[in-house]
Chains A and B, each alone.
Chain A
Amino acid sequence: MSDWISHPENIVFVILAVVMVGAGFRSVTSRNVVHAVLFLVVALAGSAALFLLLGAEFVAWTVVLVYIGAVIVLFLFGIMITRAPLGMETQLSHSNQTKIGAAIVAGALFALISVAALQGFGDTEFVASPTRTDDLGLSIFQRFVIPFEVVSVVLLAALIGGIVLARRDPESTEELPAPQPTGVATTPSTNIAATAGRSAEGGDT
């Protein structure tokens, strides 16, 4: 054990692990919503640092850019829009009873995976060597080009789906002025007429 800890990279690992676990724990227990998100940033930054330690530089920077840059902003927007209480709040989590049950389950899960990992790998040692982004790019665009394209389609679908889901239905909004009845009669396109008819109904309700 002392042998293990004497490696500088393991010292770094321990520091990172402690920070990550602590931040992770705070992010799921914090009573302040914004704090929870910021603790998630710390945990993810820790994982990015861990990837640097492992030599996976591209993945590390991707985590920084995508997660910390984009996803977190998205979360903050989500919090703002859903008007989640920004200050200290006791109602963010369930009762203590639920927490105990969840803690038992999560603890058992952790114990199970740890035992299985120790049984399976024991103290298999390995040396990290940096992965060149060059190789990663070649691999993505050669061997993994089809999954890559599929992921791009998934992202597109998510983009469209997100817009469709989050968009306000035009007929349910009050801002749209009810069209003039004469306008409906003279509109040549049935499509527009149908939309106008629907929003007129919406205006009535």
Chain B
Amino acid sequence: MTEFLANAGSWILAASESGEAAKLSDGGVLASMAWLIPVVPMVAAFAIVFWGKKMPYKGWDIAIAVMAFEALYGTALLLSHISSPIAHDFQIEIAKIGNMPIEWGWSVDGLSIMMYFLVGVVGFLVFLYAKGYMEGDIRFTWFFASFTLFAGGMLVLVSAPNMIQLIVGWELVGVSSWLLIGHYWEEHENSSAAIKAFLTNKVADVGLFVGAIIVSMSVGSFRFGDILDAVESGAAEAPMLAQFAFWGGLALFIGAMGKSAQFPLHVWLPDAMAGPTPVSSLMHAATMVTAGVFLVGRMFPLYLTEGFATEVRSIIIIVGALTLFLTGLIALVQDDIKKVLAYSTLSQLGYMTVAMGAGAYTAGLFHLFTHAFFKALLFLGAGSVIHSVHSNNMSDMGGLKKDMPYTYWTFVVGSLALAGILPFAGFFSKDEILASLRYASGEFGVADGGGALATIVLALAIAGAFITAFYMARTVFLTFHGEYKGHGHPHESPRIMWVPLVALAVPSAVIGFINIPGVTEVFTKLVGGREVKVLDHHAESFDGLVLVLGLIAALAGIYLGWRIWGPDKETQQERDTFRVDGLYPLLENKYYIDDFYMDGVVRPIRGPVARAMDWFNGHVLDFIVNGAGLLAKAAGRVVYWFDQRGVDGAINASGAITGAGGGVLRLLQTGKVQQYAVLIFAATVILVGGLVIWF
């Protein structure tokens, strides 16, 4: 413990020593006890179910204690990792299939420590806030049980040192998100949103399973360590993996597309707004949607090492670019404030995916890291507004600036961070992604997600920055400026709700400074501290051109937003009707993707199946019935003929035979257990005897 404190004290010093090769330690007690991180919330979730109602705060107290533990443990690991990098896997064999052991374990390295910290800290603040938000809910205790399970599932996922455990965590997150999105299940819409999220994720999970099987089988181990070692040893050393790497990598990425809601599997995320706002907040920030990016980050060497799945990168970057641009446009036309934020999450996830596709591991994860803070902040702020005006629609808001000062100022900080304005966190991470795209365009070929493809994506990403700033400006002006358009009197939320807002606003503003290119490299070292050396491009200094372009795009978006919605308060809402013929209906209907899934996938399958059943019913069954009828008629004639001939006895005899048969069978049906047992034993003897004689 004293050693740890000493480490923690000197981390700033250690962090400033750049350039020397990081030596990895096994992390000592702190790492070997890290199994508590996933286990504690899982146990607590059940504890809340059973004993939550008897606690003074109806289970919230257990949940918040768990999250406080997670936040502290995550912070302790983070500090310790920064002072001396930890990278260690702990595995316990629990079963064996052939010669592939199934293991449960916990991985303590840069990537997972970053996620422990993120889930712990953001989760803690969201749980704090949720007490205020969920006050008076009829399923308060149940909500916190499933919410704790949700955080715990995510921690199982990120602590996974092997494929099997990753899948377990992945599904835990899926099932608990289903519980949470459908929290208000009384309304049909909400429960179908939950089912939609679950099923969309299931479609993608097929990809994850296939990918996990391909990759694990071709290496002969489920462990990430073994898989990545095989990748590191090169294509010549691992020919089996190299041969299947493209398909394995692609399938894993399809799995990631589901959880991280990439186009065209993004449809579940906006609907997931049906859940309570704290759920949206945690789901969109630190957990669930980050799982896909995390998976790609975990398997990153597979995508980057020559001879393996490098071609998948071009697919990743295209998917990411489509997501970031198309969903950003949809965010412009939404009236529901949570939907705006949901689409902006999609767009930001697109940025992360693009960064991964461009081979920029650090940039992608850095954006994930900063985004978690400001997106949690924005959602909680939106929740605070919704709590106050009892409506999700921005057309019922406006002018809330003076009534809700804390919410307003923290929301502005979050918006500026999301828009990527200079000192705020989003600026640094977004700039790093743009810079890495420029780097990729010069370094890789088109097939590897570079070249002209990266240049086009760079242009899209800059346009995306403009759109992001524009819709956030719209949201801020329509919600907090202008005239109040709703009913009742808006009021500031209770303290337990705005304290987390302030606490999240601070990192949203300043956390970007931990990774200024060429100045500080804390984050780069953090996520780079893994047993596998992750070869990625990390900008040594700012890329002047993209920095200026990105900043201009963001400022232009804010300026345009201010010009449209800023002045003239009374008519603000009327000007929210800018519509481009042809484009607006497309955005309003979300590119008709939902309709396509319904009309193009579900109905075409359902229709033919129904028609096939109808045809079967109409033709085959009817034919059989009619045929049987005809046969019976013919038989009737024959019988009639017999009867006429005076062979009544045959009929009587058949009746008697049936009766006698029934009588014999009735003897078996005695209701006496022991006679049944005689039959069972006799049958067993005959069957097994047959087997013995046969062999």
Contact with A along B664-691 (1 / 0, CB 8 A): 0000000000110010011011001100
Cα separation A108 to B681 with both chains bound (whole Å): 10
Give chain A's interface secondary structure class.
helix
Query: How far does the Cβ of B54 sit from chain A's closest Cβ, in whole Å?
Result: 15
Segment with Cβ contacts to B, from A112-120, A134-142, A171-179: A112-120
User: Are A109 and B692 interface neighbours, CB within 8 A?
Assistant: no
User: Are A105 and B692 interface neighbours, CB within 8 A?
Assistant: no
User: Are B678 and A102 interface neighbours, CB within 8 A?
Assistant: yes
User: Are A112 and B678 interface neighbours, CB within 8 A?
Assistant: no
Nearest residue (CB) in B for A120 is B692
On whether A109 and B685 interact (CB within 8 A), knowing A115-B692, A116-B692, A119-B692, the answer reads yes
A101 sits at the interface (CB 8 A): yes
Query: How far does the Cβ of B91 sit from chain A's closest Cβ, in whole Å?
Result: 18
User: Are A105 and B685 interface neighbours, CB within 8 A?
Assistant: yes
Query: How far does the Cβ of B103 sit from chain A's closest Cβ, in whole Å?
Result: 16
Complex partner residue of A112 from B674, B675, B689, CB under 8 angstroms = B689
User: Are A94 and B685 interface neighbours, CB within 8 A?
Assistant: no
User: Are B678 and A109 interface neighbours, CB within 8 A?
Assistant: no
Q: Which of A91-109 contact B (CB under 8 A)?
A: 94, 98, 101-102, 104-106, 108-109
Cα separation A101 to B692 with both chains bound (whole Å): 23
Complex partner residue of B682 from A94, A105, A116, CB under 8 angstroms = A105
Best-surrounded residue of B675, B685, B688 (most CB of chain A within 10 A): B685
Residues of B within 8 A of A94 (CB): 674
Complex partner residue of B685 from A98, A102, A112, CB under 8 angstroms = A112
Query: How far does the Cβ of B638 sit from chain A's closest Cβ, in whole Å?
Result: 43
Nearest residue (CB) in B for A101 is B678
Residues of B within 8 A of A112 (CB): 685, 688-689, 692
Cα separation A98 to B678 with both chains bound (whole Å): 9
Residues of A within 8 A of B674 (CB): 94, 98
Residues of B within 8 A of A116 (CB): 688, 692
Cα separation A93 to B434 with both chains bound (whole Å): 89
Cα separation A153 to B675 with both chains bound (whole Å): 34
Nearest residue (CB) in B for A119 is B692
Query: How far does the Cβ of A146 sit from chain B's closest Cβ, in whole Å?
Result: 10
Nearest residue (CB) in A for B688 is A112
Cα separation A158 to B688 with both chains bound (whole Å): 33
- The size class of the interface chain A forms with chain B is 10 to 19
Residues of A within 8 A of B678 (CB): 98, 101-102, 105
Number of B residues near A (Cβ < 8 Å) is: 10
Query: How far does the Cβ of A93 sit from chain B's closest Cβ, in whole Å?
Result: 10
Residues of B within 8 A of A102 (CB): 678
Cα separation A116 to B684 with both chains bound (whole Å): 14
Query: How far does the Cβ of B552 sit from chain A's closest Cβ, in whole Å?
Result: 64
Cα separation A98 to B670 with both chains bound (whole Å): 13
Cα separation A104 to B689 with both chains bound (whole Å): 14
Residues of A within 8 A of B685 (CB): 105, 108-109, 112
Residues of B within 8 A of A119 (CB): 692
Query: How far does the Cβ of A46 sit from chain B's closest Cβ, in whole Å?
Result: 24
Residues of B within 8 A of A105 (CB): 678, 681-682, 685
Query: How far does the Cβ of A96 sit from chain B's closest Cβ, in whole Å?
Result: 14
Residues of B within 8 A of A98 (CB): 674-675, 678
Query: How far does the Cβ of A29 sit from chain B's closest Cβ, in whole Å?
Result: 15
Cα separation A103 to B684 with both chains bound (whole Å): 15
Cα separation A115 to B688 with both chains bound (whole Å): 11
Cα separation A108 to B689 with both chains bound (whole Å): 9
Residues of A within 8 A of B675 (CB): 98
Residues of B within 8 A of A108 (CB): 682, 685, 689
Cα separation A102 to B688 with both chains bound (whole Å): 18
Nearest residue (CB) in A for B684 is A109
Cα separation A94 to B689 with both chains bound (whole Å): 27
Cα separation A189 to B692 with both chains bound (whole Å): 67
Cα separation A106 to B678 with both chains bound (whole Å): 9
Cα separation A188 to B553 with both chains bound (whole Å): 71
Query: How far does the Cβ of A183 sit from chain B's closest Cβ, in whole Å?
Result: 28
Query: How far does the Cβ of B673 sit from chain A's closest Cβ, in whole Å?
Result: 12
Query: How far does the Cβ of A119 sit from chain B's closest Cβ, in whole Å?
Result: 7
Query: How far does the Cβ of A118 sit from chain B's closest Cβ, in whole Å?
Result: 11
Best-surrounded residue of A101, A104, A112, A115 (most CB of chain B within 10 A): A112
Nearest residue (CB) in A for B682 is A105
Residues of A within 8 A of B684 (CB): 109
Query: How far does the Cβ of A80 sit from chain B's closest Cβ, in whole Å?
Result: 24
Cα separation A116 to B690 with both chains bound (whole Å): 11
Residues of B within 8 A of A115 (CB): 692
Cα separation A102 to B674 with both chains bound (whole Å): 9
Cα separation A116 to B688 with both chains bound (whole Å): 10
Nearest residue (CB) in B for A116 is B692
Residues of A within 8 A of B688 (CB): 112, 116
Cα separation A112 to B688 with both chains bound (whole Å): 8
Residues of A within 8 A of B682 (CB): 104-105, 108
Cα separation A115 to B682 with both chains bound (whole Å): 17
Residues of B within 8 A of A109 (CB): 681, 684-685
Cα separation A101 to B685 with both chains bound (whole Å): 13
Cα separation A116 to B689 with both chains bound (whole Å): 9
Cα separation A119 to B695 with both chains bound (whole Å): 10
Nearest residue (CB) in B for A102 is B678
Query: How far does the Cβ of A134 sit from chain B's closest Cβ, in whole Å?
Result: 26
Nearest residue (CB) in B for A113 is B688
Cα separation A105 to B675 with both chains bound (whole Å): 11
Residues of A within 8 A of B692 (CB): 112, 115-116, 119
Cα separation A108 to B679 with both chains bound (whole Å): 13
Nearest residue (CB) in A for B681 is A105
Cα separation A98 to B674 with both chains bound (whole Å): 9
Query: How far does the Cβ of A34 sit from chain B's closest Cβ, in whole Å?
Result: 22
Nearest residue (CB) in B for A94 is B674
Query: How far does the Cβ of A99 sit from chain B's closest Cβ, in whole Å?
Result: 11
Cα separation A193 to B688 with both chains bound (whole Å): 60
Q: Which of A70-104 contact B (CB under 8 A)?
A: 94, 98, 101-102, 104
Query: How far does the Cβ of B167 sit from chain A's closest Cβ, in whole Å?
Result: 23
Nearest residue (CB) in B for A109 is B685
Cα separation A115 to B685 with both chains bound (whole Å): 12
Query: How far does the Cβ of A113 sit from chain B's closest Cβ, in whole Å?
Result: 9
Contact with B along A166-197 (1 / 0, CB 8 A): 00000000000000000000000000000000
Residue contacts A-B, CB under 8 angstroms, 22 given: A94-B674, A98-B674, A98-B675, A98-B678, A101-B678, A102-B678, A104-B682, A105-B681, A105-B682, A105-B685, A106-B681, A108-B682, A108-B685, A109-B681, A109-B685, A112-B685, A112-B688, A112-B689, A112-B692, A115-B692, A116-B692, A119-B692
Q: A98-B675, A105-B682 are in contact. List 9 more A-B contacts (CB 8 A).
A: A104-B682, A105-B678, A105-B685, A106-B681, A108-B682, A108-B685, A109-B681, A112-B685, A119-B692
B residues whose Cβ falls under 8 Å from a Cβ of A: 674-675, 678, 681-682, 684-685, 688-689, 692
The 4 lowest CB-CB distance pairs between A and B, nearest first, are A108-B685, A105-B681, A105-B682, A116-B692
